[in-house]
Structure 1
């Protein structure tokens, strides 16, 4: 027979006590009732109340636990009363002395509330956290790629500015740090930097001779080999991750890594061991005190750059619309066929240049000129 939905339940603290008296965990109770462990925790905290069939099953389980606790009091977790302290033999306690009240049993400790979910970070806070975590090491890695301190800082700033502009995409990426690192490496290794005036002059090399030698070897490697070596031996990525970040196949990445190691070992034999090479790369990157800009500065620069390019795009669109409108306004309204070019007519004798006139021809010309108006009527032009 099905019970009423309003089956009475003990208070939340009693529910927990009965469960503990029956030596059951919340997961076991959840499995027997058919709910999750979090639901049982909320029932025992009083946050929610079971309804329907779950309420009936939970009430039956608590009733069984209550009967078991009444039948077997040993299973309860009530602490035993402390044993009375024996009185000294020299001073026996008087018979009429009032008996000391029993020690009160300790109240059950309330179950700690489940940890409240941490408040979600704002986009700016999440970006600042990513920047603080990645930027310092990324600047040093960019220095190993380029050998230029200013270019290393600029590469990292540009990468994070682009990340802030595309933050909805970067925030849900599987590896945001890898996204920014790949962007910074691409900008640092761009071949167009060689045409910039300030990059035509080399910067001051490291002070230590061994650091200068290692940096010189790195800069003489081809950019793909240098990037692969830095990712594998400097950053610590495995071969598939290195291949994916360099957009190459795994065999190609392995070949680049071997060739880069061979080139380094040929000029610096003491770095033929990959472990020693990894240690020296870390030391070389740590010797340069390179500081990245503050996160708010990077975000502000990104927003300023985005506004600039947006306004430039708007201005270009307006100029294009104006040019189109002017063209439509000044264009001819109707079609005017072009004048055809001249064609050669066959069968016409060529024009002969006039030679010297004879005496008779000169007299005839004079006569015709004199009789143009006063001559025969056929020679007089008729007025309209």
Structure 2
């Protein structure tokens, strides 16, 4: 059986741009395709790729949106007729101009976006929030061309002067802002995940170093704190830490007996259950987002969450309520004095680490080339079978040296010499 080739899809950034140009929300597009909003979000961020019938429906819808956008751009813009100006109209126009200018400038003004917020059932459990631009800015600090094309244009109406927007941040400044906001909360969350203060700080710093190495990807991500959080959790839960000498020694437990009991209860949970419980009841993520971050299906994440809650409630019955558990986790994380390094230190550490591995790769490549050249120079050009070593054979009589012949031997030798070399004489018949 032969399979038909998959329908080509535009890049994730183009998918999001087509949806925004058509003035559709993720929920509306998800309803038209027949999937959830979290699935559309994963498609637009590039984390997952649609397959099967969903891919066909998604590709068909994107093609339709692209055709509609091209048709709108091809239509000529009619000139607007000047409306009669009255006293009331002049006042309304004076109020509408600043409003239009504010709407135009709002595309480049940073807004507050909740990162890692929970579902609609428990919005108060959101922990992380980050100031991010509503849309990605280019190098000049202006909105993309797609946003400028989507804005209505009127040649007859006077265009208000745009307000000067904030200067574009450099990559280092944007990284420092992300680190200063997300690092303290991530260190406390990682401490609840591992129970070790030094490992929590090291995991968050290593995650931000990896984020700085992949900064173009992280800067375009819809949830940069979630990107760093997933990397920090993976590093903190690595089983190789048990072989490190500095992590074999136990750290002092919390001073409060209740906090000590809760932390021990969390550490007794399996790592997947502990991570799911922390993301859902601690951070406040929704169940689909928790499943996506833990790389599990939604039923599997729900099963892990139920088992983790049952284990915690069996030992601490007062934490059976999720709201109470969320508050106790926040209190336990806030009770510890956990500090993170400064952003420049993390960036310099990431750059030193990148230089080290780059030089190590270059040195290994040069050594490999030198070894290969030496082998080709000194290797034999033909096969020479090895000479087998000698072995001692026993039971063979020694070789006797020649000596003087006896009289019988001399007589026999003389007889042999006297006979004909051609053989015995030919016998001929005789007459009697």
Structure-2 change in CA distance of 1:294 and 1:22 (3 Å): closer
Answering whether residue 250 of structure 2 is matched by residue 202 of structure 1, we say yes
Aligned length: 272
Task: Report deviation, 1:174.
Answer: 1.9
CA distance in 1, matches of 2:208, 2:394: 82
CA distance in 2, matches of 1:339, 1:16: 108
Task: Please say if residues 145 and 219 of structure 1, whose CA atoms lie closer than 8 Å, have aligned partners that are also in contact.
Answer: yes
What TM-score results when the alignment is normalised by the length of structure 2? 0.57
> What is the aligned counterpart of 1:43 among 154, 158, 176?
158
CA distance in 1, matches of 2:264, 2:91: 73
CA distance in 1, matches of 2:274, 2:92: 62
Structure-2 change in CA distance of 1:357 and 1:161 (3 Å): closer
Equivalent residue for 1:185? 233
Q: Secondary structure at the match of 1:248?
A: coil
Task: Report deviation, 1:23.
Answer: 6.0
Answering whether residue 304 of structure 2 is matched by residue 256 of structure 1, we say yes
CA distance in 1, matches of 2:92, 2:341: 58
Equivalent residue for 1:20? 89
Answering whether residue 432 of structure 2 is matched by residue 363 of structure 1, we say no
Answering whether residue 361 of structure 2 is matched by residue 292 of structure 1, we say no
Equivalent residue for 1:376? none
Task: Report deviation, 1:120.
Answer: 1.2
Task: Report deviation, 1:336.
Answer: 3.4
Equivalent residue for 1:269? 317
> What is the aligned counterpart of 1:281 among 321, 329, 334?
329
Equivalent residue for 1:353? 396
Superposition RMSD in Å: 3.4
Residue by residue over 1:287-322, the C-alpha shift from the partner in whole angstroms, topping out at 9 and shown as x without a partner, is 011111110010010001101111111111111111
Structure-2 change in CA distance of 1:17 and 1:327 (3 Å): farther
> What is the aligned counterpart of 1:116 among 164, 176, 180?
164
Q: Secondary structure at the match of 2:217?
A: helix
Task: Report deviation, 1:43.
Answer: 2.2
Residue by residue over 1:249-303, the C-alpha shift from the partner in whole angstroms, topping out at 9 and shown as x without a partner, is 0000000000000000011111111111010000000001111111001001000
CA distance in 2, matches of 1:16, 1:316: 78
CA distance in 2, matches of 1:16, 1:129: 48
Q: Which has the larger radius of gyration?
A: 1
For structure 1, which runs of at least 5 residues remain unmatched after alignment?
1-8, 29-34, 46-112, 343-349, 366-384
Structure-2 change in CA distance of 1:44 and 1:357 (3 Å): closer
Paired residues for 1:210-359 under 5 Å: 210-332=258-380, 334-338=381-385, 353-354=396-397
Residue by residue over 1:43-88, the C-alpha shift from the partner in whole angstroms, topping out at 9 and shown as x without a partner, is 254xxxxxxxxxxxxxxxxxxxxxxxxxxxxxxxxxxxxxxxxxxx
CA distance in 2, matches of 1:305, 1:229: 33
Structure-2 change in CA distance of 1:126 and 1:36 (3 Å): closer
CA distance in 1, matches of 2:354, 2:155: 51
CA distance in 2, matches of 1:124, 1:244: 29
Q: Secondary structure at the match of 1:43?
A: coil
What TM-score results when the alignment is normalised by the length of structure 1? 0.64
Structure-2 change in CA distance of 1:341 and 1:294 (3 Å): same
CA distance in 2, matches of 1:261, 1:187: 24
CA distance in 1, matches of 2:216, 2:92: 49
Structure-2 change in CA distance of 1:36 and 1:186 (3 Å): closer
Residue by residue over 1:125-177, the C-alpha shift from the partner in whole angstroms, topping out at 9 and shown as x without a partner, is 11011111110000000000111100000000000000001101111112111
For structure 2, which runs of at least 5 residues remain unmatched after alignment?
1-80, 101-149, 407-432
> What is the aligned counterpart of 1:149 among 189, 194, 197?
197
